[in-house]
Structure 1
C-alpha cells in the first residue's frame, strides 16, 4: 500500500544545478520504493510552469511536487532573468523555515492521502532545515550538490582566518602572486593553492556574508543524520576520506546521480527547467561529424561582462570550430545576450546558438567532442559521465576547486585565465579539438566515463551505498 512507503521530503537549493542533482537523486529514491515530495520555491515554480509541460510538474504516482514561499518577487515580465545567487540564498534562509514546517504538517495530516514523512533530504547548504526535522524527530540527510573538494575547502575557511591567510590584506592580493600561496595542511587536498579554494575567500572584508556563511554551514552539518556527495569512489576517494575524518555524520559518495537516473529500468524520470529547452539542437548535432562540436554553456547563474562575451565569441569564431552555444537572455550583465552582426554572420554555417538545451543529451551525443564550461559541479559530473573533456572558466563558489581538480588531478580540463582573451580562447579550443593534448584528455575522459558508469550501473558501488544510507540513516 502507498501509505506503507517511506516518505522523503526533498528540498534543494533553488538554482538549476542544485535542482537537477536533487531531482536525479529523488528519482533514485522513488525507484527504491520511496514516496517523494519534491519542494520547489514559489519563484522557481512560476518559472517552471512557464517553460515546462505542466503535466511534468504534476508528478507521478508516489512522486509529487510541492511549493513554499521564498521571499523572492519579480514581475512576470522579468521572471526569466537569473536570480542574484547570494540574494536568493539569503532570502530562503530568512523565509523558508515556517512554510517548510507548515508543509510537513500538512503532509503528515491523515487527510493528505500519503504516508507520514519518514525523513528529509536537504541541500547541504540549507542547514536551517535541521530546526524543522528536530521538532519532528525525523532524520535529515544532507545532499551536497557542490563538489566534495569545494565542501572540504569551505570547512577550513575558519582555520584560514585564524592563520591570518584570509581575508585578503588588500585588493592588490587579487592580482599579485598572493593567491598562488600553497596551502599544504588541508587533508585530502595536497598542495592546493589559495586561488583553488572556493571563491568566497577572495574578499578583504572579515564580515563578508558568504565567507562566514560557508564555514558556518559546513560546521552545522554535525547535526545531520548523514551527508551524501554526488560523486563516485574512484574519482574522489582521498577527499571523501578526509571529509569522513572531520565531519560528524557518516559520509556517502553516491553518484554520478545523473547516471543513477539513467540506469533505472522502465522508469519515468521527472525534470524541472527554469528555461525552455530547445530540442532542435539535437537535430543539428545529428548532422555533424563525430567529435567535431564544442559545447559551450556557462550554467544558470554565471554573468559575463559585454567585453568577456565578445572575447569568447571572437575566440569561438576565430577557432573555425563548430560549436553549440547556450546564451541565456541574461548571460550578459545588464543587456540581452546578442552576438554582434559581424560575428553572427561569420559563424552562421558552423554554429547553433540557443537560450537553453537538454544538457545531458547534448553531452552524450557522439558529435560533441569538448565542453567549454563554468565548472559547476553538476555540469562537471555530467561531462565526466559522458566522457567529454573540458575547457574551464570558473566563476563562483566551488567552481575554482572544481577547475583545479579537472585540470591538475584528473587530467580532463584546460583552464582559461580569469581575464578572457580571444587569442587564448582560440588556442585552447584548437588544442582541445585538434591537438595532441586534446587527444590525451579525451582518452582520460573516456577512462573516467567507464569508472562512472560502473559505479552508477545497477548493482554498482553507488547503488550499494544508496541501499546503505537508506538503511543506516533514512529509515533509522
Structure 2
C-alpha cells in the first residue's frame, strides 16, 4: 500500500532533486535525511558526492548516486584531519570543475525526471556560481542551527566592533549584539589564517542570500527569534522543517561502524542512570584531558557509556592511555565503545544525561529525546549551541575552562542527583513535546515542509 502511495506521489511531481553534501559526517547525515524526506513527498533523488567520505549507496537503493573526484591529494586529506578550515577552503576550489561537469551531465540527461533544483550544503558556496551558469535554481541547506548561522552572518559587524579576532583578555565580555553570547561563545576557529575563515564565511553568507531558499534542520518553537531576525535580514524563503531524523526512521549514514552491543549493555542498567559521553566524529583531545575525563567519570560513581572514537586522543590509536586495570576497577559500571548508534542510545530509558561536544545534530537529537546535556564544545557553532543549551533553553550546563576530574564529577552529580538537574530534565521533556508536535499535521515543521514542496514544484 505504502509503495503504491509513493509511486502515485512520484508520478504526480515527476521532478528530480540533485543533492550535494559537504563530505563530513555531521553534514552528510542531515543532507541524506532531507533527501529521504523529499523523496517521500514524490521527488526522485540524485546524490552527487566526492571520493572523500563517500556515503554507502547500498543503504539508499531509492537514490541515484553520482561520484565526482574532489581533487584532494593524499597530503591534502591528511592535513584536513587536523585543519578543518583548510579542507573547507580546498573543497570550494578543487570541486568547482568536476562538479560543474557533473551537474551539466545530469541536466542534459533526458532518461529520467527533469531536474528542479540543486540542494547543496551552504558551506559549498561555489555551487551558487555553477548553478547560475547552468541556469538551475539552488537551495542551500544549513546543517547547523539558526542562532549560530546568525552569528556567522554577523562576522563583519563583530570585526568592526573589535570582538574579533578573539583576544584572551576579552573572552568573558558579553556580545551585546548577539545576546546571550559572550566573546568566548563566538563560532570562530583558532587558526593562523583568520582571513581564510572570514573569506569562507563571507562566501557562505553572500551566496546563501543569493540562493532561491534556505532549509534548516530546526523548528520554529526552538529558534523563533533567530528565525524572525534571519527572515528580515536575508529576504529569501526560509524553511525550518526539522528535526529531520524524527520525520521517519531511515538507514544509517554513519561513516564509522556502530557498536550495537552498547544497547544490550544499556538494557541492563537502571532507568535514567547512565551518562552517555560522545564528542562527535571530528573533535580530538589531548591525552591529559582524556585522563581527566576517565577519572571524572569513574569518580562520579554513575554508570557511563563512553564513545572513544579512534583518533579522539592526540597521539594514540585508541585506549592505550587508560590507566592499567581501569575498566576492571569499574566492575561493569563503565562501557567504552568506538562508536554507538546514537539515536538508539539517546532514546533508551536508562540514559539520564548526554555529555556532548554540542554539534547541532547531537544537540537536536538530545532535545528530541528530552535528555539534559553536559556541554564541552570544541569549535565553531558548538560554542553557540552550548550557550543556548545552558542559558536560553536551560536544559543543561557547560563545562568551561578545560577538563578537570573534580569539575566533571561535580557536573555529573549535579545533573544526575540534584534539584537543578531535575529542572533541566523537565525543560528538556517540554522541548521534546514541542519537537513532536511541530511534525504533526498543522505543526510548524509540517506546514513548512509542505510550503517547501509547493515552492520547489514551481521551478
TM-score, length-scaled by structure 1: 0.88
5+ residue gaps, structure 1, are 263-268
Aligned to 1:314: 295
* 1:94 Cα deviation from its structure 2 partner: 1.5
Instruction: Describe how 1:310-459 pairs up with structure 2 within 5 A.
Output: 310-338=291-319, 339-457=322-440, 459=442
Match of 1:36 among 24, 45, 70: 45
Aligned to 1:100: 99
Aligned to 1:197: 186
- Contact persistence 1:184–1:190 (CA under 8 A): yes
For residues 418 and 474 of structure 1, the distance between their equivalents in structure 2, rounded to whole angstroms, comes to 50
1:225 and 2:212 equivalent? yes
For residues 180 and 275 of structure 2, the distance between their equivalents in structure 1, rounded to whole angstroms, comes to 32
For residues 275 and 294 of structure 1, the distance between their equivalents in structure 2, rounded to whole angstroms, comes to 22
5+ residue gaps, structure 2, are 1-6
Aligned length: 446
Alignment deviations for residues 155-206 of structure 1 (CA, whole Å, 9 cap, x no partner): 11111112233224xxxx32x3x11222223xxx434321222133x66x68
- Contact persistence 1:104–1:117 (CA under 8 A): no
Match of 1:282 among 260, 263, 268: 263
Matched position secondary structure for 1:353: strand
Match of 2:24 among 8, 12, 15: 15
Aligned to 2:4: none
For residues 218 and 346 of structure 2, the distance between their equivalents in structure 1, rounded to whole angstroms, comes to 18
* 1:348 Cα deviation from its structure 2 partner: 4.6
For residues 83 and 39 of structure 1, the distance between their equivalents in structure 2, rounded to whole angstroms, comes to 25
- Contact persistence 1:70–1:91 (CA under 8 A): no
For residues 348 and 274 of structure 1, the distance between their equivalents in structure 2, rounded to whole angstroms, comes to 31
Q: Which structure has the higher relative contact order (CA within 8 Å, separation 6+)?
A: 1
Matched position secondary structure for 1:67: strand
Alignment deviations for residues 442-475 of structure 1 (CA, whole Å, 9 cap, x no partner): 1111000000011123553212101112222563
Match of 1:152 among 150, 153, 156: 150
Alignment deviations for residues 302-322 of structure 1 (CA, whole Å, 9 cap, x no partner): 010111111111100111111
The 1:457–1:351 alpha-carbon spacing in structure 2 relative to 1, beyond 3 Å, is: farther
1:55 and 2:55 equivalent? no
* 1:134 Cα deviation from its structure 2 partner: 1.1
- Contact persistence 2:276–2:304 (CA under 8 A): yes
* 1:83 Cα deviation from its structure 2 partner: 6.5
* 1:129 Cα deviation from its structure 2 partner: 0.7
TM-score, length-scaled by structure 2: 0.92
